[in-house]
Structure 1
């Protein structure tokens, strides 16, 4: 099993997971053309892609999903709330997911996890294959017991470290947007991400990647410092994801 971020940030998000020559995509916040180009950069075969899972309706996660599914003739999975917001409920490609569902997709088991975010019915995902678990988690404003429990025992974790509170306070966002980002239905700060790592860390974690890092309200050095302390950087480095770069594969 392996996974790779094709880009992570406010301008677009997509994560590819692959097992035994079959793959699924979590989010497609890029145009179909850009996403296919990024698959090529990752040396991934678009013909092996069997489904797209969308976490919620915000454009940096959903805008290219339906066009990609139509082009590749594959299903699109998301909650009914997301489908309503995106006007997908009557589309033949749409498959409904509900928080708590366990679904088989591309030979992998996908658990849909309800999260607190300012969207209609947001979900995040834990994917398992051959006894290996990868948790992909972004776009949530607070750490609920449900989220902490759902992401236990993951061998790979891709988490959100969106903002530094002080940079957010002094940054260009107006007060209302600052409050939204830092609120309980917004985005995780570096400190909240570090706290999540402490709450779910176990010796079996092999990869930790941090994404959705704000270009205006955060800095990679701050993310690395906060998360390394929580994760134990001496033996298990933290990998930071970029908006405009395809990351290296995390392979088990």
Structure 2
């Protein structure tokens, strides 16, 4: 199994997952043209894409999802709350997702996980092979870590986690107080320290890949993220894999 970030940040998010000759796209926060360009740069094949899954309605995750699905005639999956907010409920390509109810695709099995975020019924995803021999946890846009999340993401072989902000930079940054409170609140985004805490709780001998994304350009720095996560991973700071906004990550494989 392998995955690639096609962009991660407040201006757009998309993650492509491939296994056994098929793929799925988690979020599509770019235009159809933008996603095509990024998939081309990743040498990805549109013809093997089985579905697009959207975590929630915020535009940096949903912007191009419907256009891509209409263009390719592929199903669009989201929670009922997300679909209602986006006006997708009556669209012929929309399919519902429910927290903890498995979605079976051609070669992949997806577990939607309910998370605390200021959106209408947000979900994140654990993607696995049908045999559950390989599991990828994709997790961002949440303000706090719940026991349910810890249970759902346990024993993943790869993790793509959110390290959104540094609390000091957020307090001293350009955001007005109300927006600062939203970002730092229990329904906002994970700080670097919270990401490290989550990673420490999920560490196990089978974990092969860890990447961190959704890094704020105004309230964080790559150096601070690397410092926090390298402490947990026991590696040099330069070895910590970070996901960027403006380009694709390349492929991360795990076996």
Q: Deviation of residue 20 (structure 1)?
A: 1.3
Distance in 2, matches of 1:232 and 1:206, equals 14
Match of 1:155 in 2: 157
Structure 1 pair 205–235 and aligned structure 2 pair: CA distance change class (3 A): farther
Q: Deviation of residue 238 (structure 1)?
A: 2.2
Structure 1 position 216 matched with structure 2 position 218: yes
Which shifted more, 233-242 or 48-57?
233-242
Q: Within 5 Å, which residues of 2 pair with 1:57-96?
A: 57-96=57-96
Match of 2:2 in 1: 2
Match of 1:174 in 2: 176
Show CA shifts across 1:128-158 (max 9, x none): 0151000000000000000011100011100
Structure 1 pair 217–3 and aligned structure 2 pair: CA distance change class (3 A): same
Q: Any gaps of 5 or more consecutive residues in structure 2?
A: none
Q: 1:247 aligns with which of 225, 246, 249?
A: 249
Match of 2:188 in 1: 186
Structure 1 position 127 matched with structure 2 position 127: yes
Show CA shifts across 1:146-205 (max 9, x none): 001110001110000000000000000000000000000000000000000011110111
Distance in 2, matches of 1:178 and 1:7, equals 24
TM-score of the two chains, using structure 2 as the length reference:
0.97
Distance in 2, matches of 1:250 and 1:175, equals 38
Distance in 2, matches of 1:81 and 1:64, equals 18
Detail structure 1 runs of 4+ shifted over 2 Å in the superposition.
234-238
Structure 1 position 33 matched with structure 2 position 33: yes
Q: How many pairs align? A: 252
Show CA shifts across 1:192-229 (max 9, x none): 00000011110111110000000000000000000111
Q: Any gaps of 5 or more consecutive residues in structure 1?
A: none
